[in-house]
Structure 1
Amino acid sequence: MPPAALTPPHHHVVIVGGGTAGITVAARLRRAGVRDITLLEPSETHWYQPLWTLVGGGQAPLRASLRTEADVMPPGVRWLRERAAAVDPAARTVTTGSGRVLSYGRLVLAPGLRLDWDGVPGLATALGHDGVTSNYRPDLAPHTWELIRRMRRGTAVFTMPSGPVKCGGAPQKIAYLAADHWRKRGVLDAIRIILVLPEPAMFKVPVFSQALEETARRYGIEVRLRSEMTALDGAKRTAVITDHATGTDETVSYDLLHAVPPQRAPEWLADGPLADPGSPYGYVRADRETLQHPDFPQIFALGDVASLPTSKTGAAIRKQAPVVVANLLSGLRGRPATARYDGYTSCPLVTARHKMLLAEFDYDLRPTPSIPLIDTTRERTDMWFLKRYGLPQLYFKGMLKGRA
C-alpha cells in the first residue's frame, strides 16, 4: 500500500509577500501578540519604491530607497525565502515554488503585482537602450536622470498604460520633473514633451486634475488623453500612440521615452480560484471594506494585488493594514469582522523641484486631507520635503514597525 500523505505543517497565519503590505501586517500582528506567523518572500532586498520618481528626477540617490529584507523583517516572524506558486483555498494550503506545502488558519495575500514589460510590443527589448527608460525598475531610475540631464533638444515622450498601476501619479510626475529641469537649464523651448494618459482626465479627483492641467500648460506639455502607447520600435526610436477615443494611431519619433508597463497580478493568482472575475488583470477579489475574500473569509488581500476601486499606493496600504489585522484577530477570536476600510489613498504629485501637491481621497473620490490647516491642493515646498524626507522616515520607522 502507498504511504499515507504527509500532513503539511500548519501555521496560524501565513503571509505571502514581504513588501510594504506584508511587512506592515506582520509587524502589527506581532505587536498584537500573534506568535505563529510565516512569511513567504524570495527577495533579499526591500525597496521603498515611492522614492524612485525622485531618483529619476535627480533629487534622491537610489541607495536611500534600499534596505535588506532581513533589516525590515519583524522579530519573531518565520521568513521562508521562497515564492508562492499556488493557493488551495478549500484545503487552506499554500504551495511554494519548491513544492513545499503549508497549511494556514488565516492567509494574507500581499505579493504585489507583475510588471508586464511584454504587454507593449517592442518595449521589453528596447528598455534601457537608445533613450528608453522607466522609473518602475530601480536599476533604470538613475538612467532616467542621466537621459534627462543630457537632453538639450528633441522630443520626450512619457507614457502610462491602461488599467490599474502602482502609484498612478508616477507616470506624470517624472514628466514635470524633467520639464522643470529643462526650464531651469534654458532648453525647454527646444524640447517637445508628449504625455500619454489613458484616462479621460489628468486625475480622477477634479480639483487635482485642474491643478495638473495648469502644470502641463506651464511647461507646454502636449497631453494626449484617452491614449496609450501600443507599440515601440527601439531601433527606429518610434512609438505608436493609439487614441482610443477615435481609434487612430500616430507614430511619434522620440529622443527620450519614459515608459510605464502594463501591470497585472502574478500569474499563479490570476489563473487561480481567488482572482476577481470582473478584473481582466487577475487581481484578487476582496470585500472593499473588510478586505476579506467574499468566498473564503479566512483569506485577506491588500496592497497592489487586491482588486479594490482605489489607487495602488503605500498610503492606501497604511490604512488597509490595520483593517486586515483587526479583522484577522477578530476571526481568530471567533468574533465577526467589524473594521472597515473607506478607500483612503494618497498620491504625492511632484510638479517641480521642491514643489508638490498631496492628493488624498477615498472610494467616492472625495478629498480627505489628513494635515490640518494646510491646503494640499496647491503646489507647496513643505509637501516636497515631506515626500523626500518625512515619508521615508514614516515608512521605515513607523509603518514597517507596526507603529503607523
Structure 2
Amino acid sequence: MSLDIAVIGGGAAGFFGAITAAETFPDANVVVLEKNRTVLNKVRISGGGRCNVTHACFDNRLLVKHYPRGERWLRPLLNQFDAAATVRWFESRGVPLKTEADGRMFPTTNSSETIIDCLMRTAHRLHIDIRTSCGVAQLLPEGQRYRLRLSNGDTLYADRVLVATGGYPQLHSYQWLPEQSESLIDPVPSLFTFNVPDSPLLPLAGVAVPDARVQIAGTKQEQRGPLLLTHWGFSGPAVLKLSAWAARDLANVNYQFTLRIHWVPTYNENQVRDTLQAFRQQHAKKQVSSQAAFGLPARLWKALASLSDIPESQRWADLPAKNVNRLIERITNSTFTVTGKSTFKEEFVTCGGIALGSLNPQTLESRRHKGLFFAGEVLDVDGITGGFNFQNAWTTGYLAGKHIGL
C-alpha cells in the first residue's frame, strides 16, 4: 500500500518537509496544500527580496542563543540538520550562498526567486503534488488516517499529516486542528518596532546609530546594536532583538512602557563626563550643538543638545554645569514613552503556538495523535532577525520529513 502524506502549508518548513519526505520515502504520495494563490510567499519577500536563508553560525551551542523561545529544545535537532547542512543542501542543488559582514547568508544571486526556483524544481522532480488556493478548514483523526475538510468543501484523506502553516496571531485560529490537550501556547507578536508618537526625535527619521543600548525601564530586558530613528519611533536590530526577547512582557503591558536609550554604551556615565570635559577644552570657542561628540550623527547630537536646554548659540566655554549634567543624562539615559508597535517590514514572527512538550522531540510527531507532525513557525520556537527563523523552518521541516513515513 502506498503512503499518503499531506503537508499543510506551502512555506519554507512545508516545502522542506515535503521534499525530505519524498526523498526519504520515494513510494509515498506527497501533497502540499497552500491556502494562498502562491507558495513560499515569506521566502519571496524576506531580506528585501533576497531571502536571508540562514546565518553563518556553525557552532550550534552559539546558534541556539539566538532563539528567545525553543533554545534547549532546538539544540539536539540542529545536531541533525544545522546551518552548515542548510548551506550544503542548497549548494548541492546549484544554489551557492554568500555570507555578509553581519553573518546573514543569501544566495549569491541576491534574489529570493533563486531559492524558490530550487525548492519548486526539486518538488516537481520528486512528483510532489502542489495545490494552491487550497486551505484546510478542519483536520480530524479517523481510525488510522486523517480526514481533511478543505475550505472549498472537498475532502481528502491522508495517512500522515505535517502541519507547517506558520504562526497564527490568535489562539482561536488553531481550532481547525485536532484537540491537542493543553498543547497550545497563547500566540503574541515578536520582531516589531516601537511606536513613540510624541518623540521629539521623529523629525530625525532615517538617522541611524551604529551601537546603542535599549532597555525596558523597570526590567532587566535590554539589548545592544544598531538603532534606527523612524517617523513613528524606533527600529533597527537593537529594537527588534528587544521586542523578541521581551515579546511576552510587552504583550502583558499592551505595548505601553518606558524605553531607555544609552546612545554610546561603550562609555559609562563617568567616562561620558570626562570625555565631554576634554571636548569642552578642545572646542571651547565653538558652539555645542555644532560639534558632535562620540561620533554621534550631527542631527542627533543637535537634538540631544536642544533637549538639554542648550541654545544653538551656546559655546562650550560658557556651558553651565547644569546643562552639562542634562546632556550627560540625555546621552546615557534618554527616556521615551512607547504606546504601541508596528510590524517590521513583512518579517512578522509569532511567539507561541504548538507547545514543544506536546511533541516527540526526536520526530516532531504529536504525542497524542499518531501520524500528526508539526514544523516551522507554528511551533513555539522563534528567533531574532538574521536568518534564524528560516533555519528553524529548514531544521524542523527536515526532521519531520525524515520520520513522517515511519
The TM-score by the shorter chain falls in which range?
Answer: 0.3 to 0.5
TM-score when normalising by structure 2: 0.42
Q: TM-score, normalised by structure 1?
A: 0.42
Larger of the two Rg values belongs to structure: 2
Which protein has greater RCO, CA pairs closer than 8 Å, 6+ apart? 2
